[in-house]
Amino acid sequence: MEDVNYLFQQCINGLQLGAVYALIALGYTMVYGVLRLINFAHGDIFMLGAFIAYYLISKFNIPIYLVFAITMVCTAAAGYIIEKVAYKPLRNAPRISLLITAVGVSLFLEYFLSLKFLFTANYIGFPRPFEVEVYDLSLFTITNIQLIIFAVTAVSLFFLYLLVYRTKYGKAMRAVSYDQEAAALMGINIDATISLTFIVGAALAGVGGILYSIAYPQINVFMGIMPGIKSFIAAVLGGIGIIHGAVLGGFVIGVSEVFVSGFLSSTFRDGVIFIILFLVLLLKPSGIFGKRIEKV
């Protein structure tokens, strides 16, 4: 019975981590779907969201619901600025130029924000805005933090679904991802659509940064590196450019990481994620929901 309880508990813990990865992976997959760009600075937007929330809670004692709203606005603005300053001038440049720029933006954010007059390179304890409560459900225990993570992720995914599939802006995003030139001929504003994609993806990353910091209350300017890489792998696993694929990939990566830590060793948890990436690229490069496109 204890083994069964432990298995269920690890599932809950994995879903908690996977929910955060899913929110970050959505930014990767949306930007790639529209612009065919791997935005490696996306993990640092996740980090920025954590630090913004830290200062809002610790310095200004703002209620948590306002922390989510303000952080989303700030990270969305950061995503918009990055797109306009770093990526838009290179939109017609070779893909390798955009890739190098994305890496450069990531490094700039990490090392610029680590300066003492801004943030710091040291680890900082994240102040949880509420007490942790544990609920015993017989087969497993669940905390109020996990319930909040699941609820916020579900609400975020619901509103993202409404935006992408029930609004004209979402229809424009899907049209641009399918054929940018044809979308432009149909009167869609390509620049505005790309900017909206960055804004939405960055806002979701900000939400992920808050949830991750509440669950694992220690933040650092380099905290976005590994979650960013793992979320990118999640997007590839699900089929990069496909929204529901990124969500599934995030949960698979989160559960896999926790299971490896819980049943094997925590020293293997990062390595297993890269093994998953290797197997996906080897056996099904298009991802779980990706489709093979035949060249004619």
pLDDT of residue 72: 97
Residue 115 token pair = 């300066």
Cα dihedral 218→219→223→226 (10° resolution) = 20
Query: Does the pLDDT of residue 24 top 90, yes or no?
Result: yes
pLDDT of residue 34: 87
Q: What is the distance between the alpha carbons of residues 196 and 190, in angstroms, rounded to a whole number?
A: 10
The residues near 278 (Cβ < 8 Å, ≥ 6 apart) are none
Under DSSP, the state recorded for 138 is: S
Cβ–Cβ < 8 Å for 31, 244: no
- How much is the average pLDDT of 288-296? 58
Cβ–Cβ < 8 Å for 205, 27: yes
Please give the biggest Cα pair distance in the chain. Answer: 63
Cβ–Cβ < 8 Å for 25, 231: yes
Domain ranges for the chain: 27-224
- How much is the average pLDDT of 129-140? 87
Least confident of 16-25, 74-83, 85-94, 190-199: 85-94
Query: Does the pLDDT of residue 205 top 80, yes or no?
Result: yes
What is the pLDDT of the chain when averaged over all its residues?
Answer: 90
pLDDT of residue 269: 85
CA distances from 254 to 16, 24, 97 (A): 8, 12, 32
The per-residue DSSP string of 60-128 comes to T---HHHHHHHHHHHHHHHHHHHIIIIIGGGTTS-HHHHHHHHHHHHHHHHHHHTSTTTS-SS-EE---
For residues 34 and 291, which has the higher predicted lDDT (pLDDT)? Answer: 34
- How much is the average pLDDT of 105-127? 86
% of the chain with per-residue pLDDT over 90: 66
Least confident of 54-68, 76-90, 159-173, 282-296: 282-296
Q: What is the distance between the alpha carbons of residues 8 and 16, in angstroms, rounded to a whole number?
A: 12
Query: Does the pLDDT of residue 85 top 80, yes or no?
Result: yes
Q: Around Cβ 168, how many Cβ atoms within 10 Å?
A: 8
The per-residue pLDDT for range 157-196, each reduced to its tens digit, is 999 999 999 999 999 999 998 888 899 988 999 999 999 9
pLDDT of residue 2: 67
The per-residue pLDDT for range 252-276, each reduced to its tens digit, is 999 999 999 988 887 888 888 989 8
Residue type, 126: F
The residues near 124 (Cβ < 8 Å, ≥ 6 apart) are 54, 218, 219, 220
Helix and strand numbers, DSSP H then E, in the chain: 11, 4
Query: Does the pLDDT of residue 229 top 50, yes or no?
Result: yes
Q: What is the distance between the alpha carbons of residues 119 and 117, in angstroms, rounded to a whole number?
A: 6
- How much is the average pLDDT of 44-49? 95
- How much is the average pLDDT of 282-292? 80
